[in-house]
Amino acid sequence: MKCFQCAQTKKQDHCNITGVCGKQPETAALQDYVLWQIKGLGQLAHRLTKAGIEIPNRYQFDHYLAVKTFATLTNVDFSDDRFHTAAIKLTE
């Protein structure tokens, strides 16, 4: 486990077994997966915008990315179900 997602890490580096906060490796992996999806969607949106292609429902799209990012950065509920839900299609 390499968890970089909080300020509670030992020596301000990362947790490498089980999080200081109690987070399990599976949960850290789910958070990483959600962030990976968000980065990909952001890159796609950037390229579409640069190409002059309008993103339908742009406000909804931006809100989706913000909510999913916030869920990973401020998580104090280390429920894997929460991140399975966060990793769903944009058409939720």
pTM of whole model > 0.75?
no
Number of domains in the chain: 1
61 to each of 4, 15, 58, 69, 83, how far by Cα in Å?
Answer: 26, 32, 5, 12, 18
Position 74 in a domain: yes
- Which domain does 78 fall in, by range? 23-86
For residue range 13-47, what is the model confidence (pLDDT) as tens digits? 666 666 667 777 787 788 888 888 899 999 999 99
Q: Is residue 13 situated within a structural domain?
A: no
Which of 40-44, 54-58, 71-75 bottoms out in mean pLDDT, i.e. has the lowest?
71-75
Q: Name the percent of the chain lying above pLDDT 70.
A: 58
The two structure tokens encoding residue 85: 């839900």
Average pLDDT over residues 47-60: 92
- Residue 67 forms part of a structural domain: yes
Mean pLDDT taken over the chain: 76
